[in-house]
Chains A and B, each alone.
Chain A
Amino acid sequence: MGLIAASGSARRFRRSRVLTALLSAGWPAVAVGVLIGPAGVGAVTPELISNLTPVVFAGLGWIGLMIGMQLHLSVLDSLPRVVWRLGVLDLVVSASVFGALTFLAFTVWPDSLPGGLRSGMSALIAASIISACGVGWSMETRSLRHSDSPESARLALFVRAAGGLAAAFALAWLGVASKIAVRLHSEAEIGGAGSGLLLIVVAMVASVAVGLLGGVALRRAGKSRADLLAVFLGVVALSAGLAADLRFSPLLASMIVGAVLVNLAGEPLRSFQRFIMEAEHVVAVVFSLIAGAMLTTRIELAAVILAIGLVAARLITKPVIFRIGAGAAGGSEGGDGGVDVSALPSNSPLFAAPIRQSPVALAIAVSAVIVTPEAAPLLTIVVIVGVLSEALPLVMTVRRGAELKTGEADAGEASSS
């Protein structure tokens, strides 16, 4: 499936707006994963998935590195204020709303929730994971753009840029919140939350050290593609292994490594960066396939209700966050780089873009399952939320496309008569 994703035919398929929406989110690969996994025909057994743990860690490391390598100080410095506002607003609202909903559900219905969650995890840990999954949105905008106007282009850029920033925020939130939650839950461990914070600091310092080492190795590798690949695999293995040892998020560890690398390595990093980014779609497909195979279909009704509640929360909060965050302060001439949202048709699917769940959520849920297998139902909840949250933007895209076609046909008829 990775090879198919990298092929020219797959690129051709993605020119269709509807297929773009479906393929970019990785749902077909998740479906194939479910089909071949233990929940489906069983071609992929739980033992095989267990043996694939290092591959999953490498995949998580690649994704974290990819997100971290965007965090060049010059890029962050040049981001319009509106993108920062969107990112911070989304982090605060989403982490609070989705975290509170999950905590509430796991507290109110503890007996009806999956057994693994009751025995192995507290409501707080689940809330920290689900709240991180709720931060951000899908960054794909091709399927939602039906206009070439400057406002539309600017809004699409905000969807992508703020989504990218939110992905970094989500990983940072996950790494810190889940670690604290785990420590608060394990009261028997010496030090409690205090040693949890110390471990976070140790893990972060170690990640920075790996980044610095990687930078030196990259400079030594120069322009040789083979040497760059060797350095890359070493960096991914080291950061993921480090995270596994410290029971820290492999996504956050590798994101920190990527951020350090991109700011220190300089010229040799350019081709390395391109190499990492070019593999984005292939990595996403392979990762979605593995996520599908890890998914459990044995979840209780309460978990389904929670998932539907999370979708409803996305439908309500995300468009509001986006309209408030992306709107220009003081109109289109606002100095914060905002966009005059009134210049766009109110039914533009771009306004619904933030409803769609970020693909990073899948990676976050998989990272939770790989560390704590009891968290498997959380992955199912994330997949349900992801699939359902695609529906409204997809419907809006199809309807807007049909409206524009009808408009073009009417205009054609009018001009011919």
Chain B
Amino acid sequence: MADIRDAGPGEDAPVLLILVASSSSMLDDIITAMLDLGISGATVIESKGLGAILRDEMPIFAGLASMIPENTGSRVVLSATSQTMADGLFQFIEEELAPSERPIALTAPVSRFLGPSR
């Protein structure tokens, strides 16, 4: 298992991987791909898009829609990993998922990291 503590500067520099999956099926594909690539640590947060928040309090015809989780729910996946792993996941997203099924994905450099030892 790759560990962020092993990652150094350069090609394998540590990065924060941020993904926003708009449906549970999209999340399922992403989690599987992450595990295939060896990324076994991540935090998944239930979230709501701006559009969903705007619609929630201002429904016009569909007041019950705000009670349908699939209609409004999205998930944010946060994982501190290495650049190589992130590249692998981006390659999977680009090559394996249809454009409409792709999550929002980005990485940010990590300058410091602290976490529980395993």
Q: Across the two chains, which residue of chain A brings its CB closest to B54?
A: A11
A14 contacts chain B at the CB level, 8 A cutoff: yes
Q: Which positions 11-60 of chain A face chain B at CB distance < 8 Å?
A: 11, 14, 20, 24, 26
A359 contacts chain B at the CB level, 8 A cutoff: yes
Q: Is the CB of A360 within 8 A of B25?
A: no
B48 contacts chain A at the CB level, 8 A cutoff: no
A-B contact count (CB 8 A): 101
A408 contacts chain B at the CB level, 8 A cutoff: no
B115 contacts chain A at the CB level, 8 A cutoff: no
Q: Taking the nearest CB of chain B, how far is it from the CB of A372, in angstroms?
A: 23
| Cβ–Cβ < 8 Å partners of A399 in chain B | none
A145 contacts chain B at the CB level, 8 A cutoff: yes
B2 contacts chain A at the CB level, 8 A cutoff: no
Q: Taking the nearest CB of chain A, how far is it from the CB of B102, in angstroms?
A: 11
A119 contacts chain B at the CB level, 8 A cutoff: no
| Cβ–Cβ < 8 Å partners of A359 in chain B | 60-61
Given known A-B contacts A225-B100, A277-B55, A284 and B71 have beta carbons under 8 A apart: no
Q: Is the CB of A223 within 8 A of B63?
A: no
Cα of A71 to Cα of B64 in the assembled complex, Å? 8
Query: Which of the residues A11, A141, A162, A284 comes within 8 Å of B61, measured between beta carbons?
Result: A284
Q: Is the CB of A223 within 8 A of B98?
A: yes
| Cβ–Cβ < 8 Å partners of B101 in chain A | 223
Q: Taking the nearest CB of chain B, how far is it from the CB of A356, in angstroms?
A: 12
A273 contacts chain B at the CB level, 8 A cutoff: yes
B59 contacts chain A at the CB level, 8 A cutoff: yes
Q: Across the two chains, which residue of chain B brings its CB closest to A15?
A: B54
Q: Taking the nearest CB of chain B, how far is it from the CB of A383, in angstroms?
A: 16
Q: Is the CB of A140 within 8 A of B58?
A: yes
A111 contacts chain B at the CB level, 8 A cutoff: no
| Cβ–Cβ < 8 Å partners of B114 in chain A | none
Given known A-B contacts A20-B58, A142-B58, A79 and B63 have beta carbons under 8 A apart: no
| Cβ–Cβ < 8 Å partners of A20 in chain B | 58
Q: Mark B27-63, 1 if CB is under 8 A from A, else 0.
A: 0000000000000000000000001001101111111
Interface residues on A, range: 35 or more
Residue of B23, B58, B60 most packed against chain A (CB within 10 A) = B60
Cα of A141 to Cα of B59 in the assembled complex, Å? 8
Cα of A69 to Cα of B98 in the assembled complex, Å? 25
Stretch at the interface among A163-171, A208-216, A232-240: A163-171
Q: Across the two chains, which residue of chain B brings its CB closest to A24?
A: B58
Given known A-B contacts A270-B23, A270-B25, A79 and B58 have beta carbons under 8 A apart: no
Q: Taking the nearest CB of chain B, how far is it from the CB of A245, in angstroms?
A: 25
Cα of A52 to Cα of B23 in the assembled complex, Å? 37
Q: Across the two chains, which residue of chain B brings its CB closest to A79?
A: B67
Q: Is the CB of A145 within 8 A of B57?
A: yes
B108 contacts chain A at the CB level, 8 A cutoff: no
| Cβ–Cβ < 8 Å partners of A78 in chain B | 67
A307 contacts chain B at the CB level, 8 A cutoff: no
Query: Which of the residues B22, B62, B100 comes within 8 Å of A66, measured between beta carbons?
Result: B62
Residue of B59, B61, B67, B71 most packed against chain A (CB within 10 A) = B61
B104 contacts chain A at the CB level, 8 A cutoff: no
| Cβ–Cβ < 8 Å partners of A69 in chain B | 62
Given known A-B contacts A223-B100, A270-B23, A270-B25, A160 and B54 have beta carbons under 8 A apart: no
| Cβ–Cβ < 8 Å partners of B22 in chain A | 274
Q: Is the CB of A161 within 8 A of B67?
A: yes
Q: Taking the nearest CB of chain A, how far is it from the CB of B19, in angstroms?
A: 18
Query: Which of the residues A24, A142, A277 comes within 8 Å of B71, measured between beta carbons?
Result: A277
Q: Mark B84-100, 1 if CB is under 8 A from A, else 0.
A: 00000000000000101
Given known A-B contacts A75-B67, A160-B66, A223-B101, A360 and B61 have beta carbons under 8 A apart: yes
A67 contacts chain B at the CB level, 8 A cutoff: yes
Q: Taking the nearest CB of chain A, how far is it from the CB of B97, in angstroms?
A: 10
Q: Is the CB of A70 within 8 A of B51?
A: no
Cα of A161 to Cα of B67 in the assembled complex, Å? 8
A300 contacts chain B at the CB level, 8 A cutoff: no
Cα of A14 to Cα of B54 in the assembled complex, Å? 9
Q: Is the CB of B70 within 8 A of A280?
A: no
Q: Is the CB of A70 within 8 A of B64?
A: yes
A271 contacts chain B at the CB level, 8 A cutoff: yes
B65 contacts chain A at the CB level, 8 A cutoff: yes
Given known A-B contacts A75-B67, A267-B25, A277 and B62 have beta carbons under 8 A apart: yes
B1 contacts chain A at the CB level, 8 A cutoff: no
Q: Is the CB of A160 within 8 A of B63?
A: yes
A311 contacts chain B at the CB level, 8 A cutoff: no
Q: Is the CB of A24 within 8 A of B60?
A: yes
Given known A-B contacts A267-B25, A271-B100, A274-B71, A67 and B61 have beta carbons under 8 A apart: yes
Q: List 5 A-B contacts (CB under 8 A).
A: A70-B65, A139-B60, A161-B64, A161-B67, A224-B98
Could you list which residues of chain B lie within 8 angstroms of chain A, going by C-beta atoms? 22-23, 25, 51, 54-55, 57-68, 70-71, 98, 100-101
